Chains A and B, each alone.
Chain A
């Protein structure tokens, strides 16, 4: 019993790392640019297909292909901010919501057309390997994904707290007008926010590839969890999103283990409802960090 519980917690933490990469991106964009990116999951999907093709065409390990997917998606993020989102900022909410929603639909349908609905998988030397510690079972691919997700989250935190550009992003998130008075160019900061957020989504895609199939709708699995984590972790709060993602991974895993294979999400949404009812501003409370 205790071992089953520990195993479920470990499974949850491992997948929670991936949720964190997606939700941190969503919360970063929301905190800095003040828009909800409904297409975030689709960039995970693009990251997966990119890694898939790099693996099948060039034999590059999906985890190694991070060094390609992250910069590529960073550039995509900058372009999306500069040519699309910039045009709807300052207008009312509707064009902003529809823009990222339309982007999501477009990307899903494009990938259906280009890649078909077939599941694509990459098999690596570690795809079937696992560590056995005591009676616990830790799949290597998920361990790599979790470890790198934590490294990337920490790197983002360090960027936001030690570099001038990172501090400028936090300043713009907290008070955009005053940030402009300090010489901060908002569009530049927003471009970096989009770039970083999409790079993290791309990283999630690459890290998923050794143990999760790519298909056009795969992003929706992760974006749903990401949105819940962003709300639980307080909108705009990066460490909050990280902690909430890990908690949700564990909650989902416990739900699957103890309630039923189809019930993982019930626990997650129950958590969301309880949090919203008891602590409406999220677990961390307060403001964007």
Chain B
């Protein structure tokens, strides 16, 4: 397994956010992490990338234990985290955002090639490389956030609600691009509230509720599951 979470718990102050979460992502696999608002999806990603401390459990990435590693060391292992709400660097140009994305030593030597790759996947970013990121549309900023994550040359790309706030057309484009990135061999951990859309992209998924994994399985199984249908698919 590339990524393995074993009984991970984390809290904000004294308020527990996730409890005993165990999930796995294989090499080159696309896995979904689904659930309603406040279920603990973002917290799980933040625990993996080191932004939130674990109160219990362990995380291993390709055999390396991530416990107590600082975020900048974790990214060096090849875990890119595209955070919720895009969070591009607003006062920097598109190109500068991408360059900062390859700041880590693992990515810096490959910067020129990664830029070419990202501009190839997102031609829109190439057209706007001098524009300040903060002045771009929501959809463009989402592309930039994903592109910036790719600049790390990640082995695992974690995406936190990439469709958030996007028009349906833009959501389609974004999912196509993620598909394209996955085809290049990058493992994907996709957090989504848009469950039906997510299940078309990932092979397997976990469903979180109140900080716990309440269901897991192949996408097709989940899509046909009565509970999932009523709770998340509005069927």
Contact = CB atoms under 8 A, between A and B. Distances in A.
**Interface range on chain B: under 10, 10 to 19, 20 to 34, or 35 or more?**
20 to 34
A167 B100 contact: yes
A170 B72 contact: no
A170 B87 CA distance: 14
Contacts, number: 74
Contact of A180 (B51, B89, B152): B51
Interface string B210-230: 000000000000000000000
**Interface of B, helix, strand, loop or mixed by DSSP:** loop
B90 interface: yes
Interface string B98-116: 0111011111100000000
B92 A183 contact: no
Given A174-B90, A182-B148, A168 B100 contact: yes
Interface in A182-197: 182-186
Contact of B51 (A181, A183, A184, A185): A181
Interface string A162-182: 001001101100110111111
Contacts of A289: 91
Contacts of B90: 174, 287
Contacts of A168: 100, 103
Given A164-B108, A171-B89, A288-B91, A182 B101 contact: yes
B91 A183 contact: no
A53 B228 CA distance: 77
B51 A177 contact: yes
A171 B100 contact: yes
Contacts of A183: 72, 75-76, 103-107, 152
Contact of A181 (B83, B105, B107, B108): B83
Interface in A265-289: 286-289
A269 B99 CA distance: 41
A174 B83 contact: no
B81 interface: yes
Contacts of B9: none
Contact of B104 (A167, A174, A182, A287): A182
